[in-house]
Amino acid sequence: MASISASTDPGNFRHAHPWGELRARVSARGVQWLRLPESGSPPQVGISDNPEMASRLTEALEAYFSGVRTEFHDIPLDLVHGTVFQRAVWEGARAISWGTLETYAGLAARIGHPKAVRAVGQALGANPVPILVPCHRILAANGRLGGFSAGLHWKQALLGIEGNKPRNGS
C-alpha cells in the first residue's frame, strides 16, 4: 500500500476552530501529524482509527484554545517520518512549558547540539504536530517571532493564548 503524504492526506481527525478546521492523522500509536487551517480551507471529514485518542486530543485542544494550561504530554505521538535529529529537536521543544519562550540557539544547546541552530530551525519547520510539539514557543535570538509553518498569525495567536506578546517581524 502506498503511503499518502500529509499534505494530501485529509486525515482521520478534525477539530472545529473559529479560524477553520484543524486536521490530524491519528494512528493506533498516537498523533502522526496535525495541520492548522489555512484561511478558506474546506472542512475535512474522517473518523479516527483510535477513537479514545481522538477524544483525548479533542478535549486537550478545547482546553488549550480556552486558555487552560495544557501541555499535551499525555497525548502520544507517532512521529514515523522524522529523522533522529528532527525527533530530538521535537522532543526538546516538547519539553518547553506553557508560557515559556526559548530561542533557536537555546533549544540547540538544550538538545546537545549548540552549533546546530539552523538545523534546529529546519527541524522545527518540519514539525508535523504544531501545538503538540510547541514550536511556536521558539523565537529568534533578537526576540522576534522567526518563522512558523502555519503562518505568523497562528504563532502570535498561540503565544497570546499562553500570555506571551513577542515583537513582530522575522
Assess whether pLDDT exceeds 70 at residue 45. no
Assess whether pLDDT exceeds 60 at residue 170. no
Q: Which of 69, 74, 6, 62 is nearest to 34 (CA)?
A: 6
What is the structure's pLDDT at 168?
60
Residues designated catalytic: 135
Confidence category of residue 161, pLDDT binned at 50, 70, 90 = very high
The pLDDT tens digits of the residues spanning 74-126 come to 999 998 888 999 999 999 999 999 989 999 999 999 999 999 999 999 999 99
What is the structure's pLDDT at 53?
83
Cα 94 from chain centroid (whole Å): 9
In the numeric block, the cell 533557536 is attached to 104
What is the radius of gyration, based on Cα positions, of the chain? 15
CB count in 10 Å sphere of residue 68: 11
Q: Model pTM? A: 0.83
The pLDDT tens digits of the residues spanning 58-71 come to 899 999 999 999 98
Assess whether pLDDT exceeds 60 at residue 25. yes
Class for the domain spanning 84-161: mainly alpha
Please answer whether residues 100 and 54 qualify as being in contact, where contact means their C-beta atoms are separated by less than 8 angstroms.
Answer: no
The domain spans of the chain are 84-161
Say how far apart CA 117 and CA 97 lie, in whole Å. Answer: 20
What is the structure's pLDDT at 141?
86
Give the CA distances from residue 103 to residues 29, 48, 133, in Å, rounded to whole numbers and listed in that order: 31, 35, 15
Assess whether pLDDT exceeds 80 at residue 16. yes
Give the CA distances from residue 144 to residues 44, 91, 157, 170, in Å, rounded to whole numbers and listed in that order: 33, 23, 14, 6
